[in-house]
Structure 1
């Protein structure tokens, strides 16, 4: 159904009017505004966790990696945030979302067109030809009486916010990957240093065995067993050298650089910082950028439902057309015409398409509702898992430290007995191998403890800003 009410004026013709037009327009506007839909509140499909298993000790810094007090790590993270390629891609996705908001917002104002036409016609038998020039200004505007345009703009604004937090999520992920690669590189250097010392110790033991073999005190098989231990240690050293090269390459890529020279990682791991405060679970996870991104996508989907419902209502369009027309360019301003119009377009039959679009938008909203709930639950899980893992890993590190001390004492005692000729070499070899393996296990356990803490910081992260990051309040 389409209805049109037009008023036209010109310098050569009287103004035409339709009685009661103002009353009809007012009635139509009031009726259409009654069709406007209020946005429904979103009920979230999860129960709130009240407390975490551990409360924590101290407030973690917004730039969580600074808690390790590692200047080299701080430099690497700053460099990665400024130049890594995937993060740059997320930044421009965010800029794209900003542009989409501006595009959607343009529907709030009229579309205005200026057109200039000029032509020459040939004389016909009953027509006098000549120059024909027209300058026209046209404006079209849709009155957003029930909020379809407004809801669509709100949906784009929420997607814009979600895209911003996608960028933040990528930044948090990047900082975690840089910290992991850096500490793994440090641990690898510690392992290489330890293996060098162990190889030196094993060669000293081999020299001792050879001296005893020359004097007929031991069998030749003892030499072979010690050589086998040395070769096994060298094999592990080669594997760690390969791992070091790969970690350096990984770190280079994270910094947005081709594989090459990096800072030399000191062979020392930092002490574990105090446990960060966990606070109220729901308030804490609502700082996480991935949770906020999911939330704003849900809000956008809710506004899309409102827009789809509003799309089933009639549309009121207003138009203005002003023209200057003359057979000569000089007399262009002597003939003027202005027309005002409005049209009401109401959907009558679309084969169920409009209703299906509403159902589709509602289904998407429900999907994102459950996705948001799952995102929050997974955030709870990540934090709680990290807290439990750290508690148990601390216990494990302590146990391995005790094992290392016992193994060192055992080896020292057995070595004395072996030198005194009261013990076979095999017992010494087994104990030495166990001691060296426990020393390597301790380094790995300390690294795993730092990795767990990094996972906890990432699970709690959400407050730091990158250098080029605008304030979210600066909406487009």
Structure 2
């Protein structure tokens, strides 16, 4: 008996050592600070900084009605249910049973007899969590739930950013169409002047055809721009969870808010939901590796059964108390292989976490670089436009006084029109880069839509 106790204690010691292995979750080396930072606080709902009521309403609608986002919420509910289900294994299980039957018998003297039998039973079972298998499995499910919550937060940030980007692209396209139509009217006016000069024999037909070509080119650009506008409306409707939507009325670009404080890279790990999600996934994989290791050791469970015949309630009791020991002996290496697989999954999750950290840092730095250089590009465009306006006016005056050919003037007008369209596009791209920065830094916004807790 004493030898058995020593053997059992030895198995317990070995198992506890085998299941206590934990992985060290260390992020890659981080810089001490970002290359740039601002002075303003970044609110949870970053889009409010644009002071655009239309955008606020669009994002609110998307967060309520977007079907992909609702699916992420459903996955969170699934994870919550799995966590509750896994946690139930830590408690004893009690089941009841009731049965009734009637039998008909006939003796040799043809006497028939009917017998009614009823029984009631209660069964209880409980598995001793000696090696931590049950607690590790429960812990993995709870960590999956935390990861799912972070996935929901990340999805909310991504969705709001997609709506904002699509919205301002739509505004850009509206303004491009307005500008193209204005330019088309200018081109038609110039075509009239060129036609008059052709009829007067002052220019060749080639010059006339060249201006007609420009008029048609502008009409073609209007057609393409209107097509893009419709596609953007379709995209926005999809994000809003609607079959279609039409944005009408004059819209303008917002003023760019001041640059937000970027903080330090180490803080980014605590506020980015995708980084937190990856971290919880590593922890969950670590718990599942512990489950796989514990599967190689014996299981001990206690059972109790109480049954009695209801027809003789006080005379026919049957009670059974038992302890069951399940010991793995030969499985062809299945459990060992599962341990190897679980550890490989854990290593994969750790590498994915580190990659997510690096991607998060890259996204912040990329957005900062893009915004800085885009602002420089826009400043140069504004100066070019100022010079271009002067050139157009001067060439017009030179043409009026017969000092310059008419097509030099048309060339200056064409160049100015291209700069106007480039300016609109540059303004929209600058806003997009700021949205990218907000998306890269956002993380304190926690979507709370489920009131029940574990």
**Same fold per TM (> 0.5)?**
yes
> Does residue 386 of structure 2 align to residue 386 of structure 1?
no
Q: Distance in 1 between matches of 2:4 and 2:119?
A: 34
> Does residue 20 of structure 2 align to residue 35 of structure 1?
no
Question: Match of 1:3?
Answer: none
RMSD: 2.5
Q: Which digits, 9 at most, give the CA deviation of each residue in 1:274-304, with x for residues without a partner?
A: 1111111121243111111111111100001
Q: Is this contact kept in 2: 1:118–1:134, CA < 8 A? A: yes
SS at structure 2 position matched to 1:334? coil
Aligned mate of 1:188, from 149, 153, 173: 173
> Does residue 286 of structure 2 align to residue 295 of structure 1?
no
Question: Match of 1:8?
Answer: none
Aligned mate of 2:60, from 72, 78, 91: 78
* Correspondences of 1:454-465 after superposition (within 5 Å): 454-465=435-446
Q: Distance in 1 between matches of 2:294 and 2:183?
A: 76
Q: Is this contact kept in 2: 1:148–1:310, CA < 8 A? A: yes
Aligned mate of 2:376, from 395, 414, 420: 395
SS at structure 2 position matched to 1:273? coil
Aligned mate of 2:300, from 301, 309, 316: 316
Q: Is this contact kept in 2: 1:33–1:146, CA < 8 A? A: no
* Correspondences of 1:4-403 after superposition (within 5 Å): 32=12, 35-36=15-16, 37-38=19-20, 40-44=22-26, 46-121=28-103, 122=105, 130-213=115-198, 215-261=200-246, 263-264=247-248, 266-325=250-309, 329=311, 331-403=312-384
> How far did 1:69 drift?
0.9
Q: Is this contact kept in 2: 1:166–1:289, CA < 8 A? A: yes
SS at structure 2 position matched to 1:286? helix
Q: Which digits, 9 at most, give the CA deviation of each residue in 1:152-188, with x for residues without a partner?
A: 0000111111111112221111111110111011111
SS at structure 1 position matched to 2:278? helix
Question: Match of 1:17?
Answer: none
Question: Match of 2:411?
Answer: 430
Q: Is this contact kept in 1: 2:236–2:245, CA < 8 A? A: no
Q: Is this contact kept in 1: 2:27–2:357, CA < 8 A? A: no
Q: Is this contact kept in 2: 1:119–1:131, CA < 8 A? A: yes
> Does residue 449 of structure 2 align to residue 469 of structure 1?
yes
Q: Distance in 2 between matches of 1:260 and 1:281?
A: 40
Which of the pair is proportionally richer in helix?
2
Q: Is this contact kept in 2: 1:186–1:265, CA < 8 A? A: no
> How far did 1:214 drift?
5.0
Q: Is this contact kept in 1: 2:140–2:283, CA < 8 A? A: yes
Q: Distance in 1 between matches of 2:325 and 2:8?
A: 9
Q: Distance in 1 between matches of 2:314 and 2:133?
A: 40
Q: Which digits, 9 at most, give the CA deviation of each residue in 1:233-276, with x for residues without a partner?
A: 11111111111111111111111110133x42533111111111
Q: Which digits, 9 at most, give the CA deviation of each residue in 1:105-148, with x for residues without a partner?
A: 111122222122333454789xx994433211111111112210
Q: Is this contact kept in 2: 1:63–1:463, CA < 8 A? A: no
Q: 1:401 to 1:180 in 2, by over 3 A?
A: same
TM-score, with structure 1 as normaliser: 0.88
Q: Is this contact kept in 2: 1:397–1:442, CA < 8 A? A: yes
Equivalent pairs counted in the alignment come to 447
> Does residue 422 of structure 2 align to residue 441 of structure 1?
yes
> How far did 1:38 drift?
2.6
Q: Which digits, 9 at most, give the CA deviation of each residue in 1:65-123, with x for residues without a partner?
A: 11111011001000110111110111101101111111111111222221223334547
Mean Cα deviation higher: 116-125 or 419-428: 116-125
Q: Distance in 2 between matches of 1:180 and 1:450?
A: 8
> How far did 1:469 drift?
2.2
Q: Where does structure 2 lack aligned partners over 5 or more consecutive residues? A: none
Q: 1:241 to 1:461 in 2, by over 3 A?
A: same
> How far did 1:24 drift?
8.1
